[in-house]
Amino acid sequence: MKHNNRYIYPTTKRELIDGQRHYDINNGKWKLPSVTTILKATEPQEKQDSLAAWRARVGEDTAAKITAESANRGTAMHKILEKYILKEGYLDLTNVGKQAHNMAIRVIEQGLCNLTEYYGTECTLYYPGLYAGATDLVAVHKGQDAICDFKQTNKPKREEWIGDYYLQLAAYAMAHNFVYKTSINKGVVMMCSKDNYYQEFVVEGVKFQQYQHDFLRRVNQYYEQRKKSKDDDGQNE
């Protein structure tokens, strides 16, 4: 897979503001909430209740352990894939690293094989004044420009379970299209379970556009919530 340097992606800093991840864009011109920050802050009550029920069912200690292991495995897999794409040597001999390596191999053999070129990896993308985030890969997938994200999972997933992943891809595509005047209308989730089962989910066309509209509604909800919180704080002073 060859690198096409058509687009120059910014170098940014991440920081926490009121406990939420933000991106410092253009040396402080904007400090924008991350895509995941917005999705977390506007998470539907049903999803919050479902997560709380799971934590209660398995116990807080077990839930924390599963969450930490998943995060570490995902970070390791992402690192291996990034280094592979950049053609840089990388070796992680920890138990987590070995497991992540096997997962990454599945993504390479069954997912990256469908890409002919890429524009950037670990790309920071931002929509001026609204939000920012980092996508794993902007590439050409089966002849079409696409936003691609790598995901690890404890067990295989159904498409109806990954709505937030599609919202992330939609957000990154809108940001890319606005800043770089592109027309990306495709998102690809390349997912591998800890048992090395690979799944690929593609969202495009009208369905992808609907997720873009849905994310913009979440952005609007986020800023309305933030404004209300500031107004309430002002009244309490």
Output the six-digit token pair for 128: 């001026």
Classify residue 70 as exposed, middle or buried by CB count within 10 Å of its CB (0-12, 13-18, 19+): middle
Let me know if residue 101 belongs to a domain: no
- In angstroms, how far is CA 75 from the centroid of its own chain? 12
Let me know if residue 8 belongs to a domain: no
Let me know if residue 165 belongs to a domain: yes
Sheet holding 30-33, edge to edge: 13-17, 20-25, 30-33
Let me know if residue 222 belongs to a domain: yes
Let me know if residue 92 belongs to a domain: no
For 224, the domain range is 15-66+117-231
What gap in Å lies between CA 106 and CA 196, rounded to an integer? 7
Let me know if residue 6 belongs to a domain: no
Question: How many domains does the chain fold into?
Answer: 1
pTM of the predicted model as reported, rounded to 2 decimal places: 0.92
In order of 70, 105, 181, the CA distances from 154 in angstroms are 7, 17, 37
Q: What is the pLDDT along the chain (237 residues), one digit of tens a residue?
A: 999 999 999 988 899 988 899 999 987 788 999 999 999 999 988 888 888 898 899 899 898 898 888 999 999 999 999 999 999 988 888 899 899 999 999 999 999 999 999 999 999 999 999 999 999 999 999 999 999 999 999 999 999 999 999 999 999 999 999 999 999 999 999 999 999 999 999 999 999 999 999 999 999 999 999 888 877 666 665
Output the six-digit token pair for 80: 């291996």
Let me know if residue 35 belongs to a domain: yes
